[in-house]
Copies of this chain bind each other. A is one copy, B any other.
Amino acid sequence: MTQRMNTEARREQIACAALGLLAERGSEGFNIAELAESVGLVPSAVYRHFEGREDVLGAALDVFRDRVYALVDAARNEAENPLMALELLLTRHAKLIESGGAVPHIMASMDVPGGRADRRAKTQGIFRGYVARVEGLVRDGQDSGQIRSDIDPTSAALLFAGLIQPAVQLRHAEGERFDITAHVARVWELFRRAVGRD
Protein backbone atom coordinates (compact mmCIF):
# COMPACT_ATOMS: atom_id res chain seq x y z
CA MET A 1 0.00 0.00 0.00
CA THR A 2 1.04 3.54 -0.62
CA GLN A 3 2.52 5.53 2.20
CA ARG A 4 -0.31 6.85 4.33
CA MET A 5 -0.75 10.55 4.90
CA ASN A 6 -3.08 12.59 7.01
CA THR A 7 -5.89 13.99 4.99
CA GLU A 8 -4.79 17.60 5.17
CA ALA A 9 -1.40 16.93 3.61
CA ARG A 10 -2.98 14.56 1.10
CA ARG A 11 -5.60 17.09 0.08
CA GLU A 12 -2.91 19.63 -0.58
CA GLN A 13 -0.81 17.17 -2.54
CA ILE A 14 -3.78 16.11 -4.64
CA ALA A 15 -4.88 19.68 -5.25
CA CYS A 16 -1.42 20.61 -6.50
CA ALA A 17 -1.25 17.59 -8.76
CA ALA A 18 -4.73 18.40 -10.03
CA LEU A 19 -3.61 21.90 -10.93
CA GLY A 20 -0.76 20.44 -12.91
CA LEU A 21 -3.05 18.14 -14.83
CA LEU A 22 -5.54 20.92 -15.36
CA ALA A 23 -2.83 23.03 -16.95
CA GLU A 24 -1.67 20.15 -19.08
CA ARG A 25 -4.94 18.65 -20.24
CA GLY A 26 -7.57 21.28 -19.61
CA SER A 27 -10.70 20.64 -17.62
CA GLU A 28 -12.10 18.52 -20.42
CA GLY A 29 -9.23 16.07 -20.34
CA PHE A 30 -8.84 16.13 -16.58
CA ASN A 31 -9.74 12.79 -15.03
CA ILE A 32 -9.56 11.19 -11.63
CA ALA A 33 -7.68 8.09 -12.73
CA GLU A 34 -4.72 10.06 -14.02
CA LEU A 35 -4.79 12.35 -11.04
CA ALA A 36 -4.72 9.43 -8.64
CA GLU A 37 -1.88 7.81 -10.48
CA SER A 38 0.15 11.00 -10.46
CA VAL A 39 0.17 10.97 -6.67
CA GLY A 40 0.61 7.23 -6.41
CA LEU A 41 -2.92 6.43 -5.32
CA VAL A 42 -5.76 4.37 -6.63
CA PRO A 43 -8.73 6.35 -8.03
CA SER A 44 -11.12 5.51 -5.24
CA ALA A 45 -8.66 6.82 -2.65
CA VAL A 46 -9.18 10.32 -3.93
CA TYR A 47 -12.71 10.16 -2.55
CA ARG A 48 -11.33 9.79 0.96
CA HIS A 49 -10.25 13.40 0.70
CA PHE A 50 -12.63 15.03 -1.74
CA GLU A 51 -16.35 14.97 -2.38
CA GLY A 52 -15.81 14.34 -6.05
CA ARG A 53 -14.37 15.65 -9.24
CA GLU A 54 -15.79 19.15 -8.92
CA ASP A 55 -14.48 19.41 -5.40
CA VAL A 56 -11.00 18.48 -6.59
CA LEU A 57 -11.14 21.06 -9.35
CA GLY A 58 -12.27 23.65 -6.84
CA ALA A 59 -9.31 22.90 -4.62
CA ALA A 60 -6.96 23.07 -7.59
CA LEU A 61 -8.32 26.49 -8.42
CA ASP A 62 -7.72 27.59 -4.85
CA VAL A 63 -4.08 26.63 -5.19
CA PHE A 64 -4.01 28.43 -8.49
CA ARG A 65 -5.47 31.59 -7.01
CA ASP A 66 -2.99 31.62 -4.18
CA ARG A 67 -0.07 31.21 -6.55
CA VAL A 68 -1.18 33.89 -8.94
CA TYR A 69 -1.85 36.41 -6.24
CA ALA A 70 1.44 35.59 -4.57
CA LEU A 71 3.17 36.25 -7.86
CA VAL A 72 1.71 39.72 -8.09
CA ASP A 73 2.38 40.53 -4.47
CA ALA A 74 5.97 39.33 -4.72
CA ALA A 75 6.59 41.51 -7.75
CA ARG A 76 5.07 44.43 -5.93
CA ASN A 77 7.24 43.94 -2.89
CA GLU A 78 10.50 43.21 -4.64
CA ALA A 79 10.48 45.96 -7.23
CA GLU A 80 11.58 49.50 -6.55
CA ASN A 81 8.58 51.14 -8.11
CA PRO A 82 5.21 50.22 -9.60
CA LEU A 83 6.35 50.25 -13.20
CA MET A 84 9.25 47.97 -12.45
CA ALA A 85 6.89 45.74 -10.51
CA LEU A 86 4.76 45.31 -13.61
CA GLU A 87 7.81 44.53 -15.68
CA LEU A 88 9.01 42.03 -13.13
CA LEU A 89 5.60 40.41 -13.03
CA LEU A 90 5.54 40.14 -16.78
CA THR A 91 8.94 38.50 -17.03
CA ARG A 92 8.00 36.08 -14.30
CA HIS A 93 4.88 35.12 -16.15
CA ALA A 94 7.06 34.48 -19.17
CA LYS A 95 9.44 32.33 -17.18
CA LEU A 96 6.59 30.26 -15.83
CA ILE A 97 5.20 29.73 -19.28
CA GLU A 98 8.61 28.71 -20.56
CA SER A 99 9.10 26.21 -17.78
CA GLY A 100 5.67 24.76 -18.38
CA GLY A 101 4.47 26.13 -15.07
CA ALA A 102 0.76 26.06 -14.78
CA VAL A 103 -0.12 29.51 -13.62
CA PRO A 104 -0.31 31.83 -16.59
CA HIS A 105 -1.20 28.96 -18.82
CA ILE A 106 -4.43 28.39 -17.00
CA MET A 107 -5.04 32.07 -16.66
CA ALA A 108 -5.00 32.35 -20.43
CA SER A 109 -7.10 29.36 -21.24
CA MET A 110 -9.40 29.86 -18.29
CA ASP A 111 -12.52 28.22 -19.59
CA VAL A 112 -14.72 31.17 -20.16
CA PRO A 113 -17.81 29.14 -20.85
CA GLY A 114 -16.97 25.59 -19.85
CA GLY A 115 -17.66 23.80 -16.66
CA ARG A 116 -20.26 24.02 -13.97
CA ALA A 117 -21.61 27.36 -12.92
CA ASP A 118 -19.84 27.44 -9.57
CA ARG A 119 -16.50 26.55 -11.11
CA ARG A 120 -16.94 29.25 -13.70
CA ALA A 121 -17.75 31.74 -10.98
CA LYS A 122 -14.58 30.80 -9.20
CA THR A 123 -12.31 31.23 -12.20
CA GLN A 124 -13.93 34.53 -12.97
CA GLY A 125 -13.42 35.66 -9.41
CA ILE A 126 -9.77 34.75 -9.62
CA PHE A 127 -9.38 36.67 -12.82
CA ARG A 128 -11.13 39.70 -11.37
CA GLY A 129 -8.86 39.56 -8.36
CA TYR A 130 -5.81 39.41 -10.57
CA VAL A 131 -6.95 42.36 -12.61
CA ALA A 132 -7.77 44.30 -9.44
CA ARG A 133 -4.25 43.77 -8.14
CA VAL A 134 -2.65 44.87 -11.37
CA GLU A 135 -5.02 47.81 -11.33
CA GLY A 136 -3.65 48.70 -7.93
CA LEU A 137 -0.15 48.70 -9.33
CA VAL A 138 -1.29 50.97 -12.12
CA ARG A 139 -2.80 53.41 -9.64
CA ASP A 140 0.39 53.43 -7.65
CA GLY A 141 2.26 54.14 -10.84
CA GLN A 142 -0.04 57.04 -11.52
CA ASP A 143 0.48 58.39 -8.01
CA SER A 144 4.22 58.16 -8.38
CA GLY A 145 4.01 59.88 -11.73
CA GLN A 146 5.36 57.04 -13.83
CA ILE A 147 2.07 56.33 -15.49
CA ARG A 148 -0.05 58.91 -17.23
CA SER A 149 -2.86 59.96 -14.98
CA ASP A 150 -5.40 60.26 -17.76
CA ILE A 151 -5.43 56.51 -18.22
CA ASP A 152 -8.21 54.32 -16.90
CA PRO A 153 -6.54 51.88 -14.49
CA THR A 154 -8.86 49.03 -15.40
CA SER A 155 -8.10 49.45 -19.08
CA ALA A 156 -4.40 49.48 -18.39
CA ALA A 157 -4.70 46.38 -16.22
CA LEU A 158 -6.60 44.51 -18.91
CA LEU A 159 -4.08 45.64 -21.48
CA PHE A 160 -1.39 44.24 -19.24
CA ALA A 161 -3.21 40.93 -18.94
CA GLY A 162 -3.49 40.94 -22.71
CA LEU A 163 0.28 41.09 -23.04
CA ILE A 164 0.49 37.47 -21.97
CA GLN A 165 -2.68 35.73 -22.99
CA PRO A 166 -2.14 35.60 -26.74
CA ALA A 167 1.51 34.79 -26.25
CA VAL A 168 0.55 31.71 -24.31
CA GLN A 169 -1.59 30.49 -27.17
CA LEU A 170 1.10 31.09 -29.71
CA ARG A 171 3.64 29.44 -27.48
CA HIS A 172 1.43 26.42 -27.37
CA ALA A 173 1.07 26.36 -31.13
CA GLU A 174 4.67 27.04 -32.02
CA GLY A 175 6.36 25.42 -29.04
CA GLU A 176 10.02 26.16 -28.57
CA ARG A 177 10.18 28.07 -31.80
CA PHE A 178 8.31 30.92 -30.20
CA ASP A 179 10.63 32.78 -27.88
CA ILE A 180 8.33 34.02 -25.19
CA THR A 181 10.98 35.89 -23.26
CA ALA A 182 11.91 37.91 -26.31
CA HIS A 183 8.27 38.50 -27.12
CA VAL A 184 7.54 39.72 -23.63
CA ALA A 185 10.46 42.10 -23.78
CA ARG A 186 9.09 43.61 -26.96
CA VAL A 187 5.50 43.99 -25.85
CA TRP A 188 6.70 45.45 -22.59
CA GLU A 189 8.23 48.29 -24.55
CA LEU A 190 4.93 48.77 -26.31
CA PHE A 191 3.05 48.74 -23.04
CA ARG A 192 5.39 51.26 -21.53
CA ARG A 193 5.02 53.56 -24.47
CA ALA A 194 1.23 53.22 -24.18
CA VAL A 195 0.94 54.05 -20.51
CA GLY A 196 4.24 55.76 -19.66
CA ARG A 197 4.61 59.44 -19.08
CA ASP A 198 7.32 60.34 -21.52
Contacts and interface: CB of A to CB of B under 8 A. Distances in A.
A152 B186 contact: yes
Nearest to A29: B114
Contacts of A172: 112-113, 124
| Range of interface residues on A (Cβ < 8 Å) | 35 or more
Q: How many copies does the complex hold?
A: 2
A158 interface: yes
Nearest to A126: B173
B113 A29 contact: yes
Nearest to A168: B112
A190 to B, nearest CB: 4
B158 A183 contact: yes
A113 B104 CA distance: 13
Nearest to A191: B194
Contacts of A23: 113
Interface stretch (A4-12, A66-74, A75-83, A159-167): A159-167
Interface in A120-154: 124-125, 127-128, 131, 151-152, 154
A48 interface: no
A118 interface: no
A190 B186 contact: no
A131 B25 contact: no
A96 interface: no
Interface string A163-189: 111111110111000000001001100
Top-6 shortest CB links A-B:
A162-B162, A26-B114, A124-B173, A109-B112, A194-B194, A26-B113
Given A158-B166, A161-B162, A194-B194, 6 more contacts: A23-B113, A109-B109, A127-B169, A155-B190, A161-B166, A190-B194
